[in-house]
Amino acid sequence: MRSSVLEGKVVLVTGGAKGIGRACALDAARAGAEVIIAGRDAMAGAATAEEIGGTFFAYDAADPARADDVIQAIVQDFGRLDGLVVSAAHTGGFHAAADMSHPEWRSVMAISLDGAFAIASRAAHVMRGSGGSIVFIASVEGMTGAYEHAAYVTAKSALFGLTRSIAMDEGRFGTRANTISPGIIDSGRPDLEDAKQSAAHMRFWEGMTVLGRMGRPSEIATVSTFLLSDGASYLTGQNIAVDGGWTIGYPRPERASES
């Protein structure tokens, strides 16, 4: 049965062409929202928008001016913006912090943090007085740290501070901000697809979770839709780990072993 918890709401999803962002867009549309997808992959983004009867805007999260353009276009076309899901991110490579170049560091920050701030700050401004909701997609890596992923870990950790700041600054205007931290999600991301070919990787990932499996993008999307909805009207400034139990304790050694 089709939910209607977002009926009448206008929702923007950045990075909504693929993976977790796509799942969030699909779920929001099923819940009755008018969904706008913004991203760099024009072909995939337009296809997803067509599938849900939504709209696609070409958007480079590393370009703050483009954030202005997208928000202005939404207000002009729809007259309002009720929800924002910030899923656009750049993971960067895998190597020690001491071996990371400054250009790579900046490329990750430009999309995963600076881009998140740019779109969210502009969205928050137009949401004032309308009871809007902003949802950032972070990561358990931002909660716990991760080997050889310094820029991504730092950017995702910083989203928690940004979430709390927006929640505190904009709460008086009725706007809420929250974060979702996914665990290991079978999102189709190329580096994950490569790692899935390794039995050791799969044993490690599954062993790190209480539930013993990778998550599905739809399992992040249902939480996103809830946070966008009026059902979460008294929930703000929080981080919700949707991680199969990754962050609640140490796994059994025999399950987490890479050997």
pLDDT tens digits, residue range 175-192?
Answer: 999 999 999 999 877 777
Q: Give the pLDDT score at 256.
A: 52
Give domain status of residue 1, yes or no. Answer: no
Give domain status of residue 156, yes or no. Answer: yes
Give domain status of residue 258, yes or no. Answer: no
Residues of the chain with pLDDT under 50: 1, 258-259
Reported as a single tens digit per residue, the pLDDT across 67-113 is: 999 999 999 999 999 999 999 999 999 999 999 999 999 999 999 99
Active-site residues, by number, are: 139, 152, 156
Q: Give the pLDDT score at 153.
A: 97
Give domain status of residue 26, yes or no. Answer: yes
Q: Give the pLDDT score at 216.
A: 96
Q: Give the pLDDT score at 90.
A: 94
Q: Give the pLDDT score at 2.
A: 58
- CB half-sphere exposure, 132, CA atoms < 13 A: 26
Say how many C-beta atoms besides its own lie within 10 A of residue 204's C-beta: 18
Give domain status of residue 205, yes or no. Answer: no
Q: Give the pLDDT score at 199.
A: 85
Sheet containing strand 176-182, edge to edge, reads 55-58, 34-39, 10-14, 83-86, 133-137, 176-182, 239-242
CATH code at position 137: 3.40.50.720
Looking at the DSSP assignment, which residues form a beta bridge with residue 182? 242
Distinct helix (H) and strand (E) counts, the chain: 11, 7
Q: Give the pLDDT score at 1.
A: 46
Radius of gyration of the chain (CA): 18
**Total of domains in the chain:** 1
The Cα 107–Cα 90 span in angstroms is 8
Give domain status of residue 196, yes or no. Answer: no
Give domain status of residue 233, yes or no. Answer: yes
Q: Give the pLDDT score at 15.
A: 96
- CB half-sphere exposure, 29, CA atoms < 13 A: 20
Give domain status of residue 195, yes or no. Answer: no
Is the separation of the CB atoms in 47 and 95 below 8 Å? no
Q: Give the pLDDT score at 202.
A: 82
The one-letter amino acid at 87: S
* Residues of the domain holding 214: 10-188+210-250
The Cα 97–Cα 147 span in angstroms is 9
Tell me how far CA of residue 149 lies from CA of 102, 113, 122, 134, 183, in angstroms: 14, 15, 29, 26, 15
Q: Give the pLDDT score at 254.
A: 66
